Structure 1
Amino acid sequence: MLLTVLGCSGSAPGPNAATSGYLLEADGFALGLDLGTGTLAVLQALRDPFDLDALLFSHLHPDHCADFTGLTVLRRYHPAPTRDPRANRLPVYGPGETERRLVASHSPDAATEAETDLSDVYEFHKITTETVHIGPFEVTALLAAHPCEAYSFRISGGGRTLMFTGDTGIFDGLADLAAGADVLLSEASWTHAAGRPVNLHLSGTDAGTVARRAAVGRLLVTHVPPWTDAAAVLAEARSAYQGETVLVRQGQSYPI
């Protein structure tokens, strides 16, 4: 498995920094994992966006899904696509309202929202907590602690496992879902301090603590907002977890 970071800025884009989005590849299959603001531009700089085989959204906040709109324009109106998007409809997995809300973003107005249809180029699937197979990947979802319907994912393929926290506060079961994973890709949006909002984000200390409790092989820290001291977040994570801990970088790839 190979993880490529399309964007890792938390909550909002930073200077030349896209928000959350990743590409996970195995056995020739390319799975997009979130597609936040600016990630489509990064994806196109790295590879043909028509190579995507499926999309998986952790939740529907714009910093995780906004570039779906640009992808839709590309898939519907590109004059010379390298793969026919209508003959190869892209499977899109997401929370319960994914189809309605993403389709609504392409409606001319509220009155025609119900008539808008993107099924010419997509096939939508609702995430459940049942384990599903997406190409070569086995994906187990767990409802996260966030203000909207959001999920954490355990993704396995080829004998390797990636755990992606998505956006979440600490909750029972997070470390259990990550148990023994080769890599934990964890958001860490701030440093640890009293008074942080609950059920919203992890601190660097939280991310490191989950990695330690889950006995993961490696910790990748992501989703640090542009106004947060990334070095301080990374230092917290390393204090709580003694294994390899890396602050991910946009455009970089990490073997799982």
Structure 2
Amino acid sequence: MKLTVVGCTGSMSGPKGAASCYLVQTETTTIVLDLGPGSMGQLMNYVDPAEIDAIFLSHLHTDHCADIIGMQVYRRWLPSGPLGPVPVYSPGDGLHRTRQIGGDGPDENYGGEFAFQTVVAGDVIEVGNLSVEFFDAVHPVPAVAMRITGPRGGVLTYSGDTDYCTGQVEAAQGADLYLCEAAFESSRDTVRDIHLTGGRAGRIAAEAGVHNLVLTHLQPWTNPDTVCAEARDEYSGPIAVAIPGGTFHVTYPTTLES
């Protein structure tokens, strides 16, 4: 199972790349986690969008789903012909949110491009040879973490946007790679129930016994060295920071390479 970081800037696109978007591939299956601003164009550097088997949105804040309209345009208006509907899984009403982003009315259901499905913690979706299980996250809107199991048993957990919660520890339990947001610095950001600090990300990783921690969703003003140092205070395993174009091969056991 291969993870490619298409975009990883927190809360917006940034000077070095797109907002949240991650490509997960096996020999036979391709899925996308989130489609933040700027991600559609960058995604085409790594995969033909026609090859995507499913789209998973961790939540419906714009920085994680805005480029679903770019995907819709591509799938509807490709000169070689429409691509047909691809499944889109999200907490909350993905169809309504897509209408909001696209500025379309209630008569537009995007049925030719997307098959929307709402998911909640406890749901499990099988796509090709990947299994995706959903867990609770803590955020101002409905949000989920995703635990993705590959065909050879490797486990990738994606936190989505969250603060510390037991759902994250459960989702990351024994994961070979925990892709975890760390948007906040503890000395600067004291508000709770929105994002993790590096320290709280490290705490989850330690409690869950993950094998590798990759910090992501850092805003342009968040210092990678700061959140890494905070994470290191809580977690003794390998730590990396996601960068656009970074790749990780998730196997058992996983070794960080980017």
TM-score range, shorter chain: over 0.9
CA distance in 2, matches of 1:235, 1:166: 21
Amino acid at match of 1:102: T
Q: 1:217 aligns with which of 211, 214, 224?
A: 211
Alignment of 1:140 with 2:138, yes or no, is no
Measured against aligned partners, the alpha-carbon deviations of 1:79-133 in whole angstroms (never above 9, x if no partner) come to: 125xx512xx21111112111221343344xxxx221120112111111222221
- Kept in 1, the 8 Å contact 2:29–2:128? The answer is yes
**Residue 20 (structure 1) aligns with:** 20
Give 1:154-233 correspondences, 5 Å limit.
154-158=147-151, 159-193=153-187, 196-233=190-227
- Kept in 1, the 8 Å contact 2:179–2:214? The answer is yes
Q: 1:128 aligns with which of 120, 133, 148?
A: 120
Amino acid at match of 1:125: Q
- Kept in 2, the 8 Å contact 1:106–1:116? The answer is no
CA distance in 1, matches of 2:34, 2:102: 19
- Structure 1 regions of 5+ residues with no counterpart? none
CA distance in 1, matches of 2:100, 2:196: 31
Give 1:100-119 correspondences, 5 Å limit.
100-108=96-104, 113-119=105-111
CA distance in 2, matches of 1:207, 1:247: 12
Q: How many residues align?
A: 248
CA distance in 2, matches of 1:195, 1:90: 38
Q: How does the TM-score come out when normalised to structure 2?
A: 0.91
CA distance in 2, matches of 1:163, 1:236: 20
Amino acid at match of 1:121: E
**Residue 70 (structure 1) aligns with:** 70
Alignment of 1:91 with 2:87, yes or no, is yes
- Kept in 1, the 8 Å contact 2:16–2:244? The answer is no
**Residue 255 (structure 2) aligns with:** none
Q: Give percent identity, aligned residues only.
A: 36
CA distance in 1, matches of 2:19, 2:193: 20
CA distance in 2, matches of 1:52, 1:170: 31
How much is the aligned-residue C-alpha RMSD, in angstroms?
1.5
Shift of 1:198: 1.1
- Kept in 1, the 8 Å contact 2:198–2:228? The answer is yes
Amino acid at match of 2:37: T
Which range moved further: 95-104 or 59-68? 95-104
Q: Report the CA distance shift for 1:131/1:236 in structure 2 as closer, same or farther (over 3 A).
A: same
CA distance in 1, matches of 2:170, 2:54: 26
- Kept in 2, the 8 Å contact 1:154–1:177? The answer is yes
CA distance in 1, matches of 2:11, 2:163: 14
**Residue 53 (structure 2) aligns with:** 53
Q: Report the CA distance shift for 1:94/1:139 in structure 2 as closer, same or farther (over 3 A).
A: same
CA distance in 1, matches of 2:175, 2:63: 26
Q: Report the CA distance shift for 1:27/1:47 in structure 2 as closer, same or farther (over 3 A).
A: closer
CA distance in 1, matches of 2:183, 2:25: 26
Q: Report the CA distance shift for 1:5/1:194 in structure 2 as closer, same or farther (over 3 A).
A: closer
- Kept in 1, the 8 Å contact 2:60–2:92? The answer is no
Amino acid at match of 1:119: G
- Kept in 2, the 8 Å contact 1:4–1:252? The answer is yes
Shift of 1:195: 6.1
Structure 1 moving runs of 4+ over 4 Å: none
Amino acid at match of 2:50: F
